[in-house]
Structure 1
């Protein structure tokens, strides 16, 4: 009887885990907004001027397809982020200003901790992937031809899904993106800009 009870209890636990796991073949779509917070030290250009990149917030959308139970492939997209930047001398005096826009699509493999009896049925997740950032509409106050190269780097992702309906949830997440770009002015290399931001977001998630 004890062995039978143990077998039945184990089977029930496995059934519960399977029932609450996000099954392979599931799709989710998340729509929200993300805040890009660049690192504080963004590099030095022309070996003289330190770079300071401002933050920005924009609407975002992501889609995720589950290739296995609780394991998904996610693509994050957004409308262009806009950043103002300043170039300062060694004393912190503003010498030049500029602007740029960028798109940072990010592809990640993610694991969702579903079926673990979290409070409020919260579903944490973690992910790692690759970020590709393309820059455009670069401008500088001197009127020169500023060009920022595209960037490819590692991206990390962590977050929580808080369900409020069987197929709907509220998401809070944070990402780290390794974004570095080589800068040139009028065709001459002037150094590297290191943005490498933390990206914080909220979103509405729908499961299909």
Structure 2
């Protein structure tokens, strides 16, 4: 998956170099929105006493709004929420909902009907709807993280386009696990890879 991320990034620069003359007079819309179906794939580590943490993959809708400062430079706000089941070895730690609004600064390239882009930014993840599973309590701390992004829009007409997008969030949270015999504080890496496909509208 890292190779796919790098391939799209390199292709973006290649498209831009090959298409600069063709797009010199193109107009652009200040605003656009996308609706995607995304797969949220966490990459947890062995944070709890050396045991492997298992956080389930989720498939959810994602909405984003993008504002273009110039034809190439834009700011995107991404909104989605996902439910994940959590296990450590054979211990069920229930589930938790994540709301990670993410703000990415993007650079857009142009190559005929293709518009690749790359981006980077920050997110703030809110944890809610916690189910404790087999333990007495689970307390997740809301936290900031960083985001990398690449993707491509395919223009259908003056208003509509298709989109393929990959994001990587670098995200860790402090968790207090109450086993009934005391509180165990741990730091849990989530670091999800988010892959999405959807449709967008310019306005």
Structure exhibiting the larger radius of gyration computed from Cα positions: 1
CA contact (8 A) 1:98 1:138 kept: yes
| Alpha carbons of structure 1 residues 74 and 14: separation in structure 2 relative to 1, 3 Å | closer
Deviations 1:16-47 (A, max 9, x none): 53322636xx10011122110111x43322x2
- The runs of 5 or more residues in structure 1 that have no matched partner are 1-12, 89-93
How far does the alpha carbon of each residue in 1:34-76 deviate from its partner, in whole angstroms, 9 at most, with x for none? 110111x43322x254311010011111000011221111000
TM-score (norm 2): 0.82
- 1:46-61 correspondence to structure 2 within 5 Å: 47=49, 49-61=51-63
Matches within 5 A, 1:108-127: 108-114=104-110, 116-117=111-112, 121-127=113-119
Query: What is the DSSP-based 3-state SS (H/G/I as helix, E as strand, rest coil) of the residue aligned with 1:33?
Result: strand
Matched residues in 2 for 1:42 and 1:149: separation? 18
**Where in structure 2 are there 5+ consecutive unaligned residues?**
1-18
1:152-191 residue CA offsets vs partner (Å, 9 max, x unmatched): 1110110010111122100000000011111002483421
Contact 1:162 1:169 in 2 (8 A): yes
Question: What are the equivalent positions in structure 2 for 1:59-70 lying under 5 Å apart?
Answer: 59-70=61-72
Q: CA RMSD in A?
A: 2.0
The reply on whether 1:37 has 2:29 as its aligned counterpart is no
Shift of 1:98: 1.5
